[in-house]
Amino acid sequence: MPDMSALLEQAQKMQEQLLAAKEELSRARVTGQAASGLVQATVTGTGELVSVEIKPEAVDPDDAEMLGDMVVAAVRDATDQAEQLAAEKLGPFAGGFGGDALGGGGAAGALGL
């Protein structure tokens, strides 16, 4: 029979490590880009969009749809990078949970990540 106090202590340590990793991800910033850097989007390590930068030469008044597409591409690039960062930081915790590290349906998502 396993020692319950040792298991509880181990679970407490894992919870502390998970909270520290989550805090680190919330402070991290990842920037994605589109159109060779004409549009850049920055997200936190948890996937929260914090800024979008659009260089003037990206703006074509006759083609606003293309600008929208570039913004979406830059945000998607940043979010993909944030997911990779989260997977690296949370890998040991999310290994058996399934789902993505940013909360796409696995237990990590249920934990608020």
- The domains of the chain are located at 28-82
- The residues with which 53 forms a beta bridge, in sequence order, are 40
**Other Cβ atoms within 10 Å of 103 Cβ, number:** 17
Res 1: pLDDT? 66
DSSP string across the chain: ---HHHHHHHHHHHHHHHHHHHHHHHH-EEEEEEGGGTEEEEEETT--EEEEEE-GGG--TT-HHHHHHHHHHHHHHHHHHHHHHHHHHHHHHHTTT-S-TTSSSSHHHHTT-
Res 95: pLDDT? 54
User: Can you say how many angstroms the Cα of residue 83 is from the centroid of all Cα atoms in its chain?
Assistant: 4
Res 57: pLDDT? 94
At 42, phi and psi to the nearest 5? -120, 130
Ranges under pLDDT 50 in the chain: 96-99, 101, 104-113
Res 91: pLDDT? 80
28-82 maps to which CATH number? 3.30.1310.10
